[in-house]
Structure 1
């Protein structure tokens, strides 16, 4: 069951990242076209590119964590063997889960709720800024799920 959940989460995340990058490419192309071909740059494209970059960074970080493509310092775990290596690896996973849940999920949720409560909107697009910040708790939840999966099923790897 955990394997299925992870597989579906991976597929959803891949699709979301493809959609974000595709939208960014089209957005930036439109911005360049309106600036240089039409002589009147679009007012909303820069803001959209910034928001998409935030989402790409957070969700891309979640995907990189899942596929072990992120930068990691493994000097200590490489030198250790057996039980010691497993303990340090598990401790690191617990720290990641705690950080993701406390800082990203809880703190990010508080930020989202606050900006939505204050009805803060973006300047050009006029969308609630809380929707932009929503990427923080969602990506934190994904990182926590991926860490817990590794913690409870160490042989479970990204496909």
Structure 2
């Protein structure tokens, strides 16, 4: 199960990376169209914003997996490994709890947007649930990854906690 969660997290991170890469092309295209051809687009701003929101939420679980969330390294180096492991477990439980709450309320927001037919107030008029769905999806992935990292803390193969693949590339 942990391997499946890690694979989903990695896939989401790769998708997020491509979305960020695409944003660069979209913004470059917009600048060229606006400044050189005096023909601004109506879609780049909204699509780039959509990609950015999704990319951030899709990448969160991978950041947790790689151990790249904010940590106080002085703290982790100054105390015995058992105490650090205990603190790591508490942190993972906190992340998991917050992520469950965010997933729940985010899903409620998406359902409400679908029921009310909310759309963006831009020229494209995109349904808001398309953007809002990033919250329950991203936090759902973060919940699963937090649980996987918590289980890794207690795996017999050693201390494979959050950040165990720090040297790995995304």
Q: CA deviation at 1:82?
A: 4.4
Could you tell me which residue of structure 2 aligns to residue 80 of structure 1? 79
SS of match in other structure, 1:15: helix
List gaps (5 residues or longer) in structure 1: none
Could you tell me which residue of structure 1 aligns to residue 157 of structure 2? none
CA distance in 2, matches of 1:82, 1:64: 22
Tell me, yes or no, if the aligned pair for 2:107 and 2:136 is still in contact at 8 Å. Answer: yes
**Is 1:142 the counterpart of 2:141 in the alignment?**
yes
**Is 1:121 the counterpart of 2:129 in the alignment?**
no
List gaps (5 residues or longer) in structure 2: 154-159
TM-score, scaled relative to structure 2: 0.80
Tell me, yes or no, if the aligned pair for 2:6 and 2:145 is still in contact at 8 Å. Answer: no
- CA distance change for structure 1 residues 74 and 142 in 2, over 3 Å: closer, same or farther? farther
Q: CA deviation at 1:88?
A: 2.0
- CA distance change for structure 1 residues 18 and 85 in 2, over 3 Å: closer, same or farther? closer
**Is 1:45 the counterpart of 2:44 in the alignment?**
yes
CA distance in 1, matches of 2:100, 2:115: 22
Q: CA deviation at 1:71?
A: 2.1
User: RMSD of the TM alignment (CA)?
Assistant: 2.0
State how 1:102-117 maps to structure 2 within 5 Å.
102=101, 104-117=102-115
Q: CA deviation at 1:86?
A: 2.7
Q: CA deviation at 1:114?
A: 1.5
Q: CA deviation at 1:31?
A: 0.9
Using CA pairs under 8 Å that are at least 6 residues apart, name the structure with larger relative contact order, 1 or 2. Answer: 2
Q: CA deviation at 1:85?
A: 2.8
CA distance in 2, matches of 1:88, 1:127: 43
**Is 1:2 the counterpart of 2:8 in the alignment?**
no
Could you tell me which residue of structure 2 aligns to residue 31 of structure 1? 30
Q: Number of residues paired by the alignment?
A: 157
SS of match in other structure, 1:70: coil
